[in-house]
Amino acid sequence: MTDSPGTTGTGTPVPRVLTIAGSDVSGGAGLEADLKMFSEYGAFGTAVVTCIVTFDPAANFQHDIAFIDTDVITRQLESTLAVHEFSVLKSGMLGSVDSALALAAALRENHLPYVFDPVLVCKGSGTMVDLKDLFVENLVPLATVITPNLEEAATLTGREPIQSVDGMIGAARDIRAMGADHVVVKGGARLAGPDAIDVLIESTANGDRLTVLSTPKAHDRMVNGAGCSFASAIAAGLATGADVLEAVRGAKLRVAHGIAASLPNATGVDSLFHPAARVQPLEGLSVTVEERTLDS
Ligand code: PXL
């Protein structure tokens, strides 16, 4: 027996990962996605709930977001940070300016590796929560890894809609210059072409390194939860000892499996299936990793 905070009662090391995110009651995205993904990596996960997303079945599954009061978010943060020693924190939908500020304050005090999924829009809802300036000023500089999609990358950088890998690289550079340690811009389903492409800029001892990662797109149905699950898989990968490139590559492979095995539901947008890489691995599915030169 051991009472070390990082191990189980049998002495097995178990990293602990905290997500600060909204609840997606349909189960593909949000903290539901994060906790399932953490488990896939053998990490112990818990969640601070920032908002609750529900759907109106009588109105084409229109989304509604209920925000949790900031003092309740602060109490959740204080409680869980006092109870556990976390290896990594991850954030998803923060919902309100005040909850984002509460998170920034906790991060400044705790100095933990932080995976920041800068959720500004929720697929199918059309809701744009205007957190852009606050993100740029308060959270981007604290991010170990930030994972914007095309729309979020364009919003954060004030760029026109991003439609190419070159545009993704430009946005990743801008966001890196805002103070994030490592930046992954996700092409996802919205980048035209047969492949799902992500652009990673890592800061290394020898300067910044650019890598382009791709997998073939599995199908063209919309999938809810790909972004959340990608960021939570990166967080769990880092917590279990991977370096940034390995964590991103591994996360992409898990998400590609989860998309290939996605579950249709009544909303018309599939739910990502988190255990797919474990329970129905696809032979031949792999991530192509290409290092490119970063022109100065
Ligand atoms: O994928 C963005 C997202 C994040 N967080 C929650 C969501 C969604 C989209 O459905 O519901 C809680």
Q: Is residue 164 part of a domain?
A: yes
Cβ 231 under 6 angstroms from ligand 1: no
Q: Is residue 11 part of a domain?
A: no
Query: What is the domain range of residue 282?
Result: 16-292
Q: What is the pLDDT of residues 71-81, one digit of tens each?
A: 999 999 999 99
Number of domains making up the chain: 1
CATH of the domain at 195: 3.40.1190.20
Per-residue pLDDT at 3 exceeds 60:
no
pLDDT band with cut points at 50, 70 and 90 for residue 32 = very high
Q: What is the pLDDT of residues 204-259, one digit of tens each?
A: 999 999 999 999 999 989 999 999 999 999 999 999 999 999 999 999 999 999 99
Q: Is residue 215 part of a domain?
A: yes
Q: Is residue 8 part of a domain?
A: no
Cβ 224 under 6 angstroms from ligand 1: yes
**Ligand 1 pocket: which of 19, 20, 23, 24 to mutate (most atoms <8 Å of CB)?**
24
CA 5 to the chain's CA centroid: 26
Whether pTM > 0.85 for this model: the answer is yes
pLDDT band with cut points at 50, 70 and 90 for residue 52 = very high
State the closest ligand 1 atom to the C-alpha of 32, by its place in the atom list counted from 1: 12
Q: Is residue 9 part of a domain?
A: no
Q: Is residue 6 part of a domain?
A: no
Q: Is residue 10 part of a domain?
A: no
**Ligand 1 pocket: which of 119, 152, 267 to mutate (most atoms <8 Å of CB)?**
119
Interval 271-282 mean pLDDT: 98
**For position 13, what pLDDT does the model report?**
87
Angle formed at CA 174 by CA 168 and CA 176, multiple of 5 degrees? 100
pLDDT band with cut points at 50, 70 and 90 for residue 122 = low
Q: Return the residue matching tokens 């924190």.
A: 89
Cβ atoms 211, 197 nearer than 8 A: no
Q: Is residue 66 part of a domain?
A: yes
